[in-house]
Amino acid sequence: MLKSYFQQGLIEAGCDEAGRGCLAGPVFAAAVILPAGFYHPLLNDSKQVTEQHRDELRPIIEAEAIAWAVAMVSEAEIDRINILKASMLGMHLAVDQLKTKPELLLIDGPHFVPYWGITHQCVVKGDSIYASIAAASILAKTHRDEHMNQLHLQYPQYGWNENKGYGTALHRKMIIETGITPHHRKTFGICKGM
């Protein structure tokens, strides 16, 4: 069962991102402050939850969270500053938008650039340990998937409705055959030098 807090009595925001390893599309990040004792049996790391269950969880999280926010960092910015910095920037932008100011940020993963005025705790695999990080992972993933589904309508040959910009065999084959789009990350894998 997921833990509901890192330090009892603090307003904690879980932070996570989606889309770090993709060849195309922006990276999305989310920050979520859950009410004390929030529980949902389906809530877990977004990678461990089916698409259908993620889509069920998203409106529940958005309705019941004390505060939540999602931010996007573009492909161009990822290419300019690198994906790790872009992921952290996305988390900062999400925290900026929270209507309630957290006293502690719970970050999924080992790295974070300190956010001014708020302490943070990095937690490796935190999205499978803390409910607020798991909730952030669900929001980041579902908002990003929705964005990639929209981009798919413009560029159906790459299969982004299925692969969400990850480097599947079909996606790589179509990059070789038809080249890259403005939504591809020009510093990533097969896209380099194209």
As a whole number, mean pLDDT of residues 116-123 equals 97
Q: Is 164 among the domain residues?
A: no
Higher pLDDT, 45 or 86: 86
Q: Is 189 among the domain residues?
A: no
Which pTM value belongs to this model? 0.97
125 has a pLDDT exceeding 80? yes
Q: Model confidence at 7, in pLDDT bands (50, 70, 90)?
A: very high
193 has a pLDDT exceeding 80? no
Helix (H) / strand (E) element for 176: namely: helix 169-178
Q: Is 37 among the domain residues?
A: yes
Residues spanned by the domain of 97: 12-143
Work out how many domains the chain is built from and give that number. Answer: 1
- The CATH number of the domain holding residue 28 is 3.30.420.10
Q: From CA 95, how far away is CA 29, in angstroms rounded? A: 9
What is residue 45's predicted lDDT score, i.e. its pLDDT?
Answer: 86
Q: Is 6 among the domain residues?
A: no
- To the nearest whole percent, how much of the chain has pLDDT over 70? 100
Q: Is 156 among the domain residues?
A: no
Q: From CA 81, how far away is CA 4, in angstroms rounded? A: 34
b/e map 49-71, b = 16+ CB within 10 Å: beeebbeebbeebeeebbbbbbb
What is residue 46's predicted lDDT score, i.e. its pLDDT?
Answer: 86
Q: Model confidence at 153, in pLDDT bands (50, 70, 90)?
A: very high
What is residue 89's predicted lDDT score, i.e. its pLDDT?
Answer: 98
Q: Report helix angle 51-64 to 131-154, nearest 10.
A: 120
Q: Is 84 among the domain residues?
A: yes
What is residue 33's predicted lDDT score, i.e. its pLDDT?
Answer: 98
Q: Is 21 among the domain residues?
A: yes
**Residue 139 contacts residue 108 (beta carbons within 8 Å):** no
Q: Is 82 among the domain residues?
A: yes
pLDDT digits (tens, 9 = 90+) for 11-68: 999 999 999 999 999 999 999 999 998 999 999 988 899 999 999 999 999 999 999 9
